[in-house]
Amino acid sequence: MPEKNTYPVQLVQPDGHRVFDRVHAPLVADVGRDELRAMYTDMVVARRIDTEATALQRQGQLGLWPPLLGQEAAQVGSAHALHADDYVFCSYREAAVAYCRGVPPEDMTRLWRGVAHSCWDADAYRMTNPAIVVGAQGLHATGYAYAAHLEGAEIATIAYFGDGATSQGDISEALGFASSWGAPVVFFCQNNGWAISAPTRVQSATPIARRAIGYGIPAVQVDGNDALAVLAVTRQALIRARTGGGPSFIEAITYRMGPHTTADDPTRYRDAAELELWQRRDPIDRLRRLLEREGLWDSAFEQQVKQRGDEIAARLRSATLSMPDPEPMELFEHVYATPHRLVEQERREYAAYLEGVRP
- For strands 248-253 and 185-191, give the pairing: parallel
How many residues belong to the chain?
359
- As beta bridge partners, residue 199 has 194
Catalytic residue among 47, 256, 281, 289: 256
Annotated catalytic residue, options 260, 281, 288, 289? 260
CA neighbor of 45 nearest in space, from 17, 81, 75: 75
- Specify whether 308 is catalytic: no
Q: Assess whether 256 carries a catalytic annotation.
A: yes
Q: Which of 17, 33, 83, 269 is catalytic?
A: 269
SS3 content of the chain, % helix, strand, coil (to 5): 50, 10, 40
Annotation marks residue 144 as catalytic: no
Cα–Cα separations (whole angstroms), residue 275 to 115, 248, 307: 34, 30, 28
- What are the Cα distances from residue 210, in Å, to 3, 8, 256, 351? 13, 13, 22, 52
Query: At residue 107, what are phi and psi to the nearest 5 degrees?
Result: -100, -10
Integer Cα distance of 62 and 87 in angstroms: 28
3-state secondary structure of 241: helix
Catalytic residues, by residue number, are 256, 260, 269
